[in-house]
């Protein structure tokens, strides 16, 4: 491999000749060999593309950056946003907690790529842009990385999480409406309970997702407050007057999202409470989805030796040794995602505590976890919606058989003969292995005609 020499304040460093990064990126590569190279999420790099472009535009409008430099920065940032330069961002999540090295990676790539666009070769001649003085003008890593975090999180949740969960909610709603008249046995404590309709059961899942989506949506505005303009500690040192609001407006225009300048830059750099709050909503969604997926695989258990009241799509063979076996794989995948998200929430909670005085130093791991959660929830919801829920079919014969055998239909007798007598009938039916109707008639507390009139599952569903 060929190398070229790059310099920073610590001296010279050898860098791969065909890569746009510089000395500070190379030092990070060598000092933090933790996990796979390039693990810093691409969504963060894309967010930096918007951030650096907006900053150049704002600086130019404020008269501190000339038009030529602004134009070439914007040109390279467009390449970053579209992913054309992804190979030039090799850093890992596990680096400095401020994300300084990723910020400098972006600065160096922009400066060196601009050098190439000017018709020169890397390492030769004077560069048009300096990474710190031009690309990083008017901001620091301490306000840039938190800004990139918010841009990336807002974009991922809006692009992946919410649409995926909305689609799943839609499929569950369609299924609920289609099965609203199918009366079945309800269950509490995994034991038989009073009747419910299959549609009512699924309507509960729809409501859960409504609440989860509302919780996520309610946190989104807090992600729109950007730290940029606070510079190192929130005072705005070295940022020209008007920069913070102007750069936030420009980011909003470039992304199409309602970003604004954070009112208090000290909070924006020292704490990431908005990310903690947002991930708490993602965790709520994971808790809801875990319950929904588990219920669906319980209702589908069998096909002959379980509950078996619904049939799931047969997407793939379920066993390498048992012929014909089909497993609830979509439910398994979704619940594994939920477990991951719930675990990620611990990382967000611990990370949010690490705001030591004027700077939170857990930024990279916090944004990596929230982006993973947001993407997984969106993808898994879509997969579950299309590959499971959409193909669910009720097993009417099994539903009817379970309903007719349920002893909890005796609850309808309470107003007529009292709880204790009804319980006596249930115990007699269970001990003698006879039907509830037979036990009721044998008790002498009511006639067969009264039983048929009082115990009607269709009238017990509310």
d(CA 184, CA 203): 14
Which residues make up each annotated binding site for substrate? 98-100, 140-142, 188, 320, 325-327
For the stretch 160-194, pLDDT in tens is 999 999 999 999 999 999 999 999 999 999 999 99
Establish whether 189 is a catalytic residue: yes
Establish whether 314 is a catalytic residue: no
What does the pLDDT read at residue 213? 98
Which residues make up each annotated binding site? 98-100, 140-142, 188, 320, 325-327
- Start-to-end CA span in the chain (Å): 75
The domain ranges of the chain are 3-137, 142-182+197-237+248-395, 407-459
SS3 137: coil
Q: Which of 189, 207, 257, 349 is catalytic?
A: 189
d(CA 93, CA 241): 33
Name the CATH topology of 142-182+197-237+248-395: Fumarase C; Chain A, domain 2 (1.20.200)
For the stretch 312-330, pLDDT in tens is 999 999 999 999 999 999 9
Q: What is the CATH number of domain 407-459?
A: 1.10.40.30
Lookup: tokens for 11: 């001296």
What does the pLDDT read at residue 124? 86
What is the residue-averaged pLDDT of the chain? 97
Q: Which of 319, 373, 432, 443 is catalytic?
A: 319
The contacts of residue 332 (CB under 8 Å, 6+ apart) are 297
Q: Point out the residues of the chain with pLDDT beneath 70.
A: none
- Dump strand ranges (E) for 122-270: 183-188, 191-197, 225-226, 260-261
CB atoms within 10 A of CB 5: 11
CATH 1.10.275.10 fits 3-137, yes or no: yes
- Dump strand ranges (E) for 214-294: 225-226, 260-261
pTM of this prediction exceeds 0.75: yes
């Amino acid at each position: 491999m060929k190398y070229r020499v790059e310099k920073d304040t610590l001296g010279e460093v050898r860098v791969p000749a065909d890569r746009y990064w510089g000395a500070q990126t190379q030092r990070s590569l060598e000092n933090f060999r933790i996990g796979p190279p390039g693990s810093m999420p691409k969504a963060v790099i894309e967010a930096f593309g918007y951030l650096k472009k907006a900053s150049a535009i704002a600086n130019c409008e404020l008269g501190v950056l000339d038009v030529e430099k602004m134009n070439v920065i914007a040109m390279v940032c467009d390449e970053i946003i579209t992913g054309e330069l992804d190979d030039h961002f090799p850093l890992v999540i596990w680096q400095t907690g401020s994300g300084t090295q990723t910020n400098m990676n972006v600065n160096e790539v922009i400066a060196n790529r601009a050098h190439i666009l000017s018709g020169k070769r890397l390492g030769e001649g004077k560069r048009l842009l300096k990474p710190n003085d031009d690309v990083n003008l008017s901001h620091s890593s301490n306000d840039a990385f938190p800004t990139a975090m918010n841009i990336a999180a807002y974009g991922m949740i809006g692009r992946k999480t919410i649409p995926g969960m909305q689609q799943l909610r839609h499929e569950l709603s369609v299924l609920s409406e289609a099965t609203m008249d199918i009366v079945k046995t309800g269950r509490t404590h995994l034991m038989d309970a009073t009747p419910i309709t299959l549609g009512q059961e699924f309507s509960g899942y729809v409501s859960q997702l409504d609440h989860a989506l509302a919780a996520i949506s309610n946190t989104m505005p807090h992600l729109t407050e950007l730290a940029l303009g606070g510079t190192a500690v929130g005072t705005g040192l070295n940022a020209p007057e008007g920069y913070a609001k102007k750069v936030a407006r420009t980011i909003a225009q470039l992304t199409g999202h309602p970003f604004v300048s954070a009112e208090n830059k000290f909070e924006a750099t020292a704490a990431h409470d908005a990310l903690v709050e947002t991930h708490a909503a993602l965790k709520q969604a994971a808790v809801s989805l875990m319950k929904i997926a588990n219920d669906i695989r319980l209702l589908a258990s069998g096909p002959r030796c379980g509950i078996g009241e619904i049939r799931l799509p047969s997407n793939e063979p379920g066993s390498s040794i048992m012929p014909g076996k089909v497993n609830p794989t979509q439910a398994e995948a979704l619940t594994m995602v939920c477990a991951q998200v719930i675990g990620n929430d611990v990382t967000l909670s611990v990370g949010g505590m690490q705001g030591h005085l004027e700077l939170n130093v857990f930024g990279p791991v916090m944004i990596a976890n929230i982006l993973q959660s947001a993407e997984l929830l969106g993808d898994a919801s879509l997969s579950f919606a299309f590959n499971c829920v959409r193909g669910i079919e009720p097993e009417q014969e099994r539903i009817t058989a379970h309903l007719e055998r349920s002893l909890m239909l005796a609850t309808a007798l309470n107003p007529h003969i009292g709880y204790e007598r009804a319980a006596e009938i249930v115990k007699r039916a269970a001990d003698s292995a006879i039907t509830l109707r037979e036990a009721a008639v044998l008790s002498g507390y009511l006639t067969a005609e009264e039983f048929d009139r009082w115990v009607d599952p269709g009238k017990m569903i509310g």
